[in-house]
A = this chain, B = another copy of it.
């Protein structure tokens, strides 16, 4: 099993991500193919890391045309090699939009899946994870897309969370079946009719974090709003807790006493630590790591790619679509 790693285009630069690569091969019995600037690649050396020097880096301004124009871009080369079987999954912390273009144009959609979706496992209050998709690859979806997302999320939960028959919910503005716009009303009817998944009904925004389902299907617009609202609320809360502790001497002592546990709690909510987002629905495992990934986060993203490719997630999805 070889994982392709695009080390370009992240906020902290290739050196940080190359540290993750070295850690990965030392801790796991797998091979990596890394794509990036020759100069950066020269700084590491390991018998199970193969280096492919590239000369261009796609940015968020690079649309589908740029993908065709730059076969020498690290991201394009990594995914092209994956499509040709030279590596078995790809991880990148580069531009989401560029990765989406590369994925759709080079890896291509699985037949029966019309739209790609960004999928991630986010932490919940049960101390497990909830699979959320789509987190914003789409700005609009049909009810058929939502049913396809259910298949994608189901396969992901089975392979990465080891749940036999994951419960699946639809993010909507009320829990009754008749709630929502036409797309969501229609989706509930179709999801209830799918016997390959364990659909339990609509889920409201207030239940996103409490683990009421294993897989939460959302259209790209509301999935993105929900995810970023969680992020923003967590940031706001952390800031407010800091202010609480700073109030006076006693609260500062109080803050000192709960500090370690508080840090653990914050880490638990920091889902960027948990790896990356799967660009689901494509013929290959392509993981988008966060742009600001540090060594730990990017390491987890590589591990996730390895787990998904080893678990045969794409074949599983194809079987479920039959």
Contacts and interface: CB of A to CB of B under 8 A. Distances in A.
B261 A139 contact: no
B247 A227 contact: no
Interface string A199-211: 0000011111110
Contacts of A227: 205
A94 interface: no
A66 interface: no
Nearest to A247: B261
Given A236-B210, A256-B254, A265-B240, A205 B229 contact: yes
A247 to B, nearest CB: 5
A118 B220 CA distance: 24
Given A258-B244, A262-B244, A181 B140 contact: yes
A268 to B, nearest CB: 8
A162 interface: no
B254 A229 contact: no
A257 interface: yes
Query: Size class of A's contact patch?
Result: 35 or more
A182 interface: yes
A269 B237 CA distance: 9
A154 interface: no
Contacts of A204: 228, 232
A206 B181 contact: no
A221 interface: yes
Tell me how many chains of this kind the complex includes.
2
Contacts of A184: 139
Contacts of A250: 257
Contact of A222 (B221, B240, B256): B221
A258 B255 contact: yes
A68 interface: no
Given A253-B254, A257-B250, A181 B221 contact: yes
A251 interface: yes
A232 B230 CA distance: 9
A184 B220 CA distance: 14
A239 B125 contact: yes
Interface in A23-53: none
A161 interface: no
Contacts of A255: 254, 258
5 contacts: A205-B225, A241-B265, A245-B258, A251-B261, A254-B256
Interface of A: 124-125, 136, 139-140, 171, 173, 179-182, 184, 204-210, 220-222, 224-237, 239-241, 243-245, 247, 250-251, 253-258, 261-262, 264-265, 268-269
